[in-house]
Structure formats: C-alpha cells, structure tokens
Chain A
C-alpha cells in the first residue's frame, strides 16, 4: 500500500530549482525584435509577456524593445550562450545586455506557488490575475524581481530572477516562505 506520506514526498506541493548557472542574455533596441526573429526566436507580442521556444528556452519581453532570453535545461542553455557569443555591435540598434552574472534565477513550480509568493510580494500572482505567459517586474521581499509565469494553469511554474549579489538573501526568503507549504528545494539545475 502506498503511504500518503511517501506519495507527498514523490510529488511535493512545490519545488525550487536553481537555474542561476544556466545561460541567459538580454537584448535591447529598436532592431532587436527583427534580429531575434531572424535568429529563429518566437517573440511575445506585447511587453510583460513571455513565450516558450520549441527547444525549451524562454523569451520574455520586458519593455517595448527589451528582451530577456533564458536558456533551456535540455541543451544546458547552449543556444542562448551561442547567441550572446555571436552578437556584434554594428549599425543596427540592437544592443547586448549581459545577464548571466547580473541575475540569479530559480524555477519555482507547484500548485501552491501563488500562495508562496503572496508571502513575499504585493502583486497578485494567482490565476487568473497572473496567467501563463505573463511577466511581472516588481518587488518581492523588498528587492527587485522579475517573475515569469512559465507553467500552465494546471501546473504553475514561475521563473524568478533577481540581483545576483542578493542571491543568498532572496534564496533564504524564498525557502522560508516555502517551508509553510512543504516545498522541496533542489540545489542543482533541472
């Protein structure tokens, strides 16, 4: 007989995966959309929206002309690392924003993550206020964060990015909030 306790351990209500070491990069400029489209990325059609790519990468649109690219665990972010490496300044308004060392990144998933985040953040991140594919640039635990809804209605998941110099601080705040909901934190990437 399967004990309920063992089952809970197998499928924890929420999971925290550190993706800080996965490559990510930003681009900004009036020609960035054209460039990224030509490079095979599907871009969100409005600011504060995010789109999943076929290979598991994500593209989040942070403003009219700024894009944040998150690497996929499937290729260890190689595609995004290559995009950063091949960028060159030319006549086009398309500028590189290095994001690997500036931000920490985690993937928080599970059915209770909206409640977990409600302990840290003033913005309503529950469904339907915050739908899959939405991006919130706000403050959580008193520091600036970017929250990207990269899951689905049935299986919510948030990519959370914040200042890497505050990694330990926000990690602690998140783990403290998770404790109440029986979350399991994994130190390695997905």
Chain B
C-alpha cells in the first residue's frame, strides 16, 4: 500500500485520504468578473510536473496541502495550510437580494 504522510496524523495508507483538487489562489469573490470566478471554480491547469494540491485525511477530516509530481505520482512534501494562510480571510459579501 502506498503511504502518505499526514501532517497531523503521521504516515497512513493512501486509502485513508481524499483528493481535494489543485491549490489555486482565490480571486476576490466580490470584485472579480464572472469569467475569473468561473475559471477559478471549474478550470484546472492539469500540469505534468510538480503541483500543489488539497488533500484530506478522511478519518480526522483534516485538510492539508501536498506537493506531488503528477507524472511519477511521487509525493514530495505535505504540510499544514497554516504555512500559506497566515491571517484570517474575511468575506465582505454584499447584501444578498432575496427573490
């Protein structure tokens, strides 16, 4: 069984993990265009090489980031999202208009 290193739980069988998609910086949801938002939500780069991805350790529901080579499937590094998310993100959403 392939082993992945979970930053919270340590080495675990790959079957305990769920893939969460490519890691992409989120555009400002209030001010970006519809095309930018659609690109963020639906499109992926699908690079052949080292990519940064979201993964979840399913038994603990813990989300983290992994750097993986998509050709060799080698996992180079896993780390807590705190490394990148250093401060709180506030969403200043405009008032939703009902109906």
Contacts and interface: CB of A to CB of B under 8 A. Distances in A.
Contacts of A136: 9
B60 interface: yes
B89 interface: no
Nearest to A162: B59
A62 B1 contact: no
Interface residues of A, number: 13
A139 B9 CA distance: 12
B76 interface: no
Interface in A30-79: 47-48, 62-63
B85 to A, nearest CB: 13
Interface string B40-77: 00000000000000000111101000000000000000
B59 A138 contact: yes
A157 interface: no
Interface range for B: 10 to 19
A137 B1 contact: no
B15 A137 contact: no
Contacts of B58: 139, 144
Nearest to B1: A122
Overall SS of chain A's interface = strand
A137 B9 contact: yes
Contacts, number: 29
A144 B13 CA distance: 12
B13 A137 contact: no
A63 B60 CA distance: 8
Contacts of B15: 139
A123 interface: yes
A145 B62 CA distance: 14
A42 to B, nearest CB: 22
A117 to B, nearest CB: 14
A16 interface: no
Nearest to B62: A63
A175 to B, nearest CB: 22
Given A63-B8, A122-B1, A137-B57, 8 more contacts: A48-B9, A63-B60, A122-B13, A137-B59, A137-B60, A138-B16, A139-B16, A145-B59
Interface of A: 47-48, 62-63, 122-123, 136-139, 144-146
List the 8 closest pairs (A to B, CB-CB), nearest first.
A144-B59, A137-B60, A137-B59, A122-B13, A139-B16, A138-B59, A137-B9, A139-B59
18 contacts: A62-B60, A63-B8, A63-B60, A63-B62, A122-B1, A122-B12, A122-B13, A136-B9, A137-B9, A137-B59, A137-B60, A138-B9, A138-B16, A138-B59, A139-B15, A139-B16, A139-B58, A146-B59
